[in-house]
Amino acid sequence: MFDNREQAGELLSKKLENYKKRGEVVVLGIPRGGVVVASKVAELLKLSLDIVIVKKIGAPHNPELAIGAVAGAKIIYWDNRLCRQLGVQPNEKLKIKNEKLRELAERERLLRGKKNYNNLKNKTVILVDDGVATGATAIAAGKFIKKMAAQKIILAVPVIAKDTLLYIKRYFDEVVFLESPEGFHAVGQFYQEFNQITDDEVRKLL
């Protein structure tokens, strides 16, 4: 159990000491909560901080359950196992995909403006979130970062579901985490304080 995202970031940074003050390393946070953790990691390791915008695709009748995610450059990831279990049809996937890509473009404009990701080429990227449940958003973000020609991609999170950890490793060069419990229902259950983070707070951290 973590006190808050800041404390989780401090603890996580200790497991990433090998990357301290390395000019070829960039920290990318996933908004919104992940940016708070990423900000602390970047501050303590003396690394540059940026964000990668990702939109979760929730199940048709359970929006909190991620069945996929979209990221920049029209990256789309589907959890095909979950889609089959829930009977998500191709026409539903197409409708959801188009809607999420529009939402993604709007958030890109809101949080990044015209800033691009050219600085990721040949870099080592530490991708940070406040926790990973199904892994959909992290995988979509990782695919996008790879498309931006990063040399190495490290997923770094305070907590990740044990069953997710088993398969998510194939998408990253390294996975760094503090806790990997079996009884995982929501990221917030592992934090004493888990406030909603606003877009304004994300912009201030940047």
Which tokens in the block code for residue 111?
């949080």
pLDDT in tens, 155-168: 999 999 999 999 99
Provide CATH 3.40.50.2020 ranges for the chain.
Answer: 5-54+114-205
pLDDT in tens, 12-46: 999 999 999 999 999 999 999 999 999 999 999 99
- DSSP assignment string, 44-91: HHT-EEEE--EEEEEETTEEEEEEEEEETTTEEEE-HHHHHHHT--HH
pLDDT reported for residue 103: 94
Query: Quick one: fold of 5-54+114-205?
Result: Rossmann fold (3.40.50)
pTM of the model: 0.94
pLDDT in tens, 117-142: 768 999 999 999 999 999 999 999 99
